């Protein structure tokens, strides 16, 4: 299928919780082969939108499509088989299991045989520089390694679209640069579309080709990093003049 039509799409997505309009009529599209940033203040609706797209939250309204196929309300495991992989703000690793076993669960959960899943795990652990930690319990990992294990587990599902919720949260600058390099390699090697939610503007501006900005559940801007950084609505709602000025070219 032509990459131009291989996309994850939300049309008029709404997610209401009582009187709170967490997501309020958002249009969204992630194309295969691109890295898209989703930013905005705390409470803007970013993670809720990701939850709707990945099946962890049923929308109040609107539709979700994968390459033109209506998948609104599908369960997460069904969407995973269609090519959606994701990570979470909290790493959600199984602490009592090893790194290898955590990643293996991603492949087995998709329906791979144990043998095929294990081949996939070794490949991913090498790619993400986790090979030496294969037999280490997940609850004893350094924080940055745990983040990469979460990404490896999502990749074990052979995703066409990879949704990353704050992959650089809590990392220092060197660790953030390592995660950035991993995401570039994932996009290039696996040719998947990557959505990144993140508050680190240095990270987002250097990583993403396109950025969408939410505030109070609505899209207030979208475009290249340069366009978003200069947008008055984004500066007022989120970046602020000083922060916008410090964001890298």
1-83+160-175+192-249 carries CATH number 1.20.950.20: no
Give me the mean pLDDT over the 80-86 stretch: 91
Does residue 23 have a pLDDT over 90?
A: yes
The CA radius of gyration of the chain, in Å to the nearest whole number, is 18
Nearest Cα to 64, choosing from 223, 198, 78? 78
Q: Quickly tell me which residue has 């990557």 as its tokens.
A: 194
pLDDT confidence of residue 29: 97
pLDDT confidence of residue 243: 53
Percent of the chain at pLDDT exceeding 90? 67
Q: Quickly tell me which residue has 């997460």 as its tokens.
A: 76
Among 1-15, 148-162, 181-195, 209-223, whose mean pLDDT is lowest?
1-15
Residue 96: helix, strand or coil by DSSP? coil
Give me the mean pLDDT over the 179-208 stretch: 93
pLDDT confidence of residue 245: 47
pTM, rounded to two decimals = 0.89
* Highest-confidence segment of 26-30, 121-125, 145-149, 174-178: 26-30
Q: What value does the mean pLDDT of the chain take?
A: 90
C-alpha to C-alpha distances, 14 to 1, 22, 74, 97, 105, nearest whole angstrom: 29, 8, 16, 37, 32
Give me the mean pLDDT over the 8-35 stretch: 97
Give 48's contacts (C-beta < 8 A, 6+ positions apart): 15, 22, 23, 57, 217
Q: Express each pLDDT in 127-173 by its tens digit.
A: 888 999 999 999 999 888 888 899 999 998 889 999 999 998 888 89
Nearest Cα to 53, choosing from 185, 184, 165, 199? 165
Does residue 246 have a pLDDT over 90?
A: no
User: Domain boundaries in the chain?
Assistant: 1-83+160-175+192-249, 90-158
Whether the CB-CB separation of 46 and 38 falls below 8 Å is answered with yes
- d(Cα 62, Cα 72) in Å, to the nearest integer? 8
Q: Within its chain, how far is the Cα of 144 from the centroid?
A: 16
């Amino acid at each position: 299928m032509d990459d131009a039509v291989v996309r994850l799409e939300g049309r008029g997505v709404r997610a209401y919780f009582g009187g709170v309009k967490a997501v309020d009529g958002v249009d969204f599209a992630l194309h295969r082969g691109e890295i898209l940033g989703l930013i905005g203040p705390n409470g803007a609706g970013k993670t809720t939108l990701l939850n709707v797209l990945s099946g962890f939250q049923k929308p109040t309204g609107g539709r979700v499509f994968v390459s033109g196929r209506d998948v609104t309300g599908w369960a997460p495991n069904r969407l995973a088989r269609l090519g959606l992989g994701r990570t979470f703000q909290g790493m959600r690793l199984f602490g009592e299991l090893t790194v290898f076993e955590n990643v293996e669960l991603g492949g087995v959960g998709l329906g791979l045989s144990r043998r095929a899943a294990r081949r996939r795990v070794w490949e991913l652990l090498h790619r993400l520089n986790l090979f030496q930690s294969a037999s280490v319990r997940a609850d004893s990992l350094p924080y940055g390694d745990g983040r990469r294990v979460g990404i490896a587990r999502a990749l074990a599902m052979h995703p066409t679209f990879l949704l990353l919720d704050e992959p650089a949260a809590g990392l220092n600058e060197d660790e953030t640069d390592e995660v950035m390099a991993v995401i570039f390699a994932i996009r290039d090697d696996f040719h998947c579309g990557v959505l990144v939610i993140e508050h680190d503007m240095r990270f987002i501006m250097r990583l993403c080709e396109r950025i969408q900005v939410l505030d109070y559940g609505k899209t207030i801007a979208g475009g290249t990093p340069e366009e978003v950084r200069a947008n008055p609505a984004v500066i007022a709602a989120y970046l602020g003049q000083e922060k916008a000025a410090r964001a890298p070219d």
